[in-house]
A = this chain, B = another copy of it.
Amino acid sequence: MSVLIVGTTALDSIKTPKAENPRLLGGSASHAAVAASFFGPVKLVGVVGDDFPRGYLRLYRGHGIDLEGLQILPGRTFHWSGEYEANMNRRRTLLTELGVFETFTPTLPNSHQKSPFVLLANIAPSLQQHVLNQMARPKFVIADTMDLWLNIALAELLKLIRRLDALVLNDSEAQQLTKEDNLFIALGKIHKLGPKYVIIKQGSHGSVLSSPRGVFLCPAYPLRQVVDPTGAGDSFVGGLMGYLASTKGSIDDNIRRAMIYGSVVASFCCEGFGLQQTTRTTRAGIERRVRELEKLTRF
């Protein structure tokens, strides 16, 4: 089944202690869409300016991503610039130029409104809701978010959360949302806000799912080199949803394995700048790492 993905489609300029890469293809929807594309059909909803490189459109198409929902408007593409510290665990934003994103209203083509799987990648919660309002009874809706929305749009975010099947957020965001240091108590508090499934990302330490079948501790794939972690969280949730949409059976039956797939796609993301390494991988390469993770966790 197909996955509808809405989020940012951006140009990212990324500085690390070792290198500088201007105007890479980035944004939450770009990372999530490429990640999901390894498993089945993906419909991308977003906006770019008329400065958006044609090569990036070709890249999307090369991954079989449906671009009917991608608006190309006069003006500049959303541009984010950030810098990582030596250990890659901290980054700071150097610059954010909204460009055409400032007035973006995601309008879904008719063909998109019946997508059974919906991924509301990181973007303003009001826009995530706007997309959801246009959908006809999706089977499974997941959303990602970030600290920015907790700070400036909490009420909208809480409204959104009530409507989700699953919420994905990182450990510091979970702590901020619940005012609770303990991760497992925080999970319980987030369930009370609405979602049946809550996933807390912990970077190189993996992620934790809380679901009707209990808690699942999902490992991160061990990496000997992290080149650029930008988009790893988006790749994780993209891979997760792509895999989930490709499976038969219940969400409960498949969501643990879906997280493993998400974790593996995220590992490829970290090995190159922007989408460089993700786009180079194959389904066979993903399967190899999934089998490795099985061996790495067996006892």
Contacts and interface: CB of A to CB of B under 8 A. Distances in A.
Interface of A: 86-87, 181-185, 202, 204-206, 208, 214-219, 222-226, 256-257, 259-260, 294-299
B222 A215 contact: yes
20 contacts: A86-B181, A182-B223, A182-B224, A182-B226, A183-B222, A184-B224, A185-B224, A208-B222, A214-B295, A215-B222, A216-B296, A216-B297, A217-B219, A217-B222, A217-B296, A256-B299, A257-B299, A259-B299, A260-B299, A297-B297
Given A185-B224, A256-B299, 4 more contacts: A182-B225, A214-B296, A215-B296, A260-B299
Contacts of A219: 217, 219, 297
A17 to B, nearest CB: 11
Of residues A215, A223, A296, A299, which shows the largest number of chain B Cβ atoms within 10 Å of its Cβ?
A299
A294 B214 CA distance: 12
A107 to B, nearest CB: 38
Nearest to A210: B222
Of residues A181, A202, A222, which shows the largest number of chain B Cβ atoms within 10 Å of its Cβ?
A222
Given A296-B214, A296-B216, A299-B216, A223 B256 contact: no
Contact of A298 (B222, B256, B259): B256
A265 to B, nearest CB: 15
B181 A87 contact: yes
What is the oligomeric copy number?
A: 2
A222 B297 contact: no
A87 B219 CA distance: 23
Nearest to A256: B299
A215 B224 CA distance: 12
Interchain residue pairs A-B with the least CB separation, the first 8: A256-B299, A205-B205, A217-B219, A184-B224, A87-B181, A184-B222, A217-B296, A257-B299
A184 B223 contact: yes
A154 B247 CA distance: 54
Contacts of A87: 181
Nearest to A86: B181
Nearest to A219: B217
Contacts of A222: 183-184, 208, 215, 217
Contacts of A298: 256
A226 B184 CA distance: 11
Contacts of A299: 216, 218, 256-257, 259-260, 294
A260 B217 CA distance: 14
Of residues A87, A182, A257, A294, which shows the largest number of chain B Cβ atoms within 10 Å of its Cβ?
A182
A181 B223 CA distance: 12
Contacts of A297: 216-217, 219, 297
A229 B24 CA distance: 44
